[in-house]
Amino acid sequence: MKTIYFDHAATTPVRKEVIDKMYPFFNEFYGNPSSIYDIATISKSAIEDSRKIIASVFNADAGEIFFTSGGTESDNWAIIGTALANEKKGKHIITSSVEHHAVLHTFEYLSRHGFEVTYLPVDENGKVKIDELKKAIRKDTILVSVMYANNEIGTIQPIEEISNICKDRKIIFHSDAVQAVGQIRIDLKKTGIDLLSMSAHKFNGPKGVGALFIRKGTKIDNFLHGGAQENKRRAGTENVPGIVGMAEAISLAYENMEEKNKKIIKLRDKIIDGIKNNIPHVKFNGDPVDRLPNNVNFSFRYIEGESLLLMLNMKGIAASSGSACTSGSLDPSHVLLSIGLSHEVAHGSLRITLGYENKEEEVDYLLQILPGIVQRLRDMSPLYDEFLKGEGDKNVQ
């Protein structure tokens, strides 16, 4: 059975054009970019060309792009590097309650090392409340980190407003843009983000490579120490094939983006309408307007998400859930709890994230089988029984 892949927020297939570009850097131009012979200088210039390509996508300078091993390293570097470089100014740092664990756990780490953290609440659509941010900022606040777009519910944050607030108060602003890069345009000359994290495998590039944009003049310590790579800012022999692949993937992602997004948004909205119109007792999660083009997130009441994923998998569909059972922990997704869902409703969530290769037939197939699967699980559920017998919605918000 052919897999219908609806989990592009988790990772994406590497495009053939990307693999072709990467290939020679494995066994032909394999030289260490720090060496001086020809095969090494070729890999060195490939890195610099890639840097220029990536910088141009964001209207940034090539000297502001630093290659890393991916989104997690970029987030760790941005947050820990800024905190340590600016701790004499203050030890208060701010983030949101719906960040990816790469950000949240890094803030928790810093809170165990003398920094004071404020976690901003979000509204029912997952947006950071601007008033809360203004209230949270203190004289000793040195860093604000708010994601560009949420990985689970697809909500795009009011980044412009947040960056203006930070700029006015001379606070460094980091944004984890791992889910946004490759899906929406970001102009770093217009938007005052100081640090921006990205990861290649989220936009049809290879795994294990990413970048951190560091605005010129931003005070930040190094994170990985060693050799003089990346203008002495990030040590370690460069992942040349990965970097070349990332540049090719980003070029392809931003080519005719508006046109491609129109197609993806059409599919996304078809799924959203199809679920709303054909399945009762569902809750749509995330912002209906400020939303990533590829993200669908619903909670199906009275059923549990992992069961739903297993049944979809048996039908050849790969998707994701915020249920505890899929996260390996006891609690369901912190994002779904932060937007006010009860534990039970959060357990029954389904995330579908589209990619450029998805077709309308695949969406139609999903919409054809999903109502039956949900009903099958509800027929097994004691909570659904209670609901039918009118014992009420006591567990459901």
Partner 1 sequence: MYSKKVMENFMNPKNVGEIDDASGIGEVGNAKCGDIMKVYLKIEDGIIKDAKFKTFGCGAAIATSSMATQMIIGKTVQEALELTNKAVVEALDGLPPIKLHCSVLAEEAVHAALWDYAKKNNIEIKGLKPPKEDISH
The binding site for partner 1 (CB under 8 A) comprises 302-304, 306-307, 310-311, 314, 323-325, 328, 330, 332, 342-344, 347, 379-385, 395
Nearest to partner 1 of 253, 311 (CB atom): 311
Determine which helix (DSSP H) or strand (DSSP E) holds 161, and give its type and residue range: helix 159-168
Confirm if 22 and 50 have CB atoms less than 8 A apart. no
- 353, with CB counted inside 10 A (0-12, 13-18, 19+), is buried
Rg (CA), the chain: 22
Cβ atoms within 10 Å of 389's Cβ, excluding its own: 8
Q: Tell me how far, at minimum, the Cβ of 304 lies from partner 1, in Å.
A: 5
Long-range Cβ contact pairs of 25-29 (< 8 A, separation 24 or more): 25/240, 25/241, 25/244, 26/241, 29/240
Residue-wise DSSP of 45-98: HHHHHHHHHHHHHTT--GGGEEEESSHHHHHHHHHHHHHHHTTTT--EEEEETT
Q: In the complex with partner 1, which residue's Cβ is closer, 75 or 304?
A: 304
Give the burial class of 392: count Cβ atoms within 10 A of its Cβ; 0-12 exposed, 13-18 middle, 19 or more buried. exposed
Query: DSSP state, 149?
Result: B
Would you say 193 or 373 has its CB closer to partner 1? 373
Contacts of 294 (CB under 8 A, 6+ apart): 8, 9, 154, 183, 264, 268, 353, 354, 355
| Nearer CB in complex with partner 1: 368/397 | 397
Q: Are 305 and 333 in contact (CB under 8 A)?
A: no
Nearer to partner 1, 109 or 384 (CB): 384
C-beta closer to partner 1: residue 191 or 323: 323
DSSP secondary structure letter of residue 202: G
Residue 301 CB, shortest distance to partner 1, in Å, is 10
Q: Least distance from C-beta 243 to partner 1, angstroms? A: 34
Q: Which residue in the block uniquely carries the two structure tokens 């990205």?
A: 198
Residue 305 CB, nearest approach to partner 1 (Å): 8
Q: How far is the CB of 388 from partner 1 (least distance, A)?
A: 11
Catalytic positions:
325
Q: How far apart are CA 348 and CA 324, in angstroms?
A: 10
CA distance 112 to 119: 15
Task: Give bridge partners of residue 373 from the DSSP assignment.
Answer: none
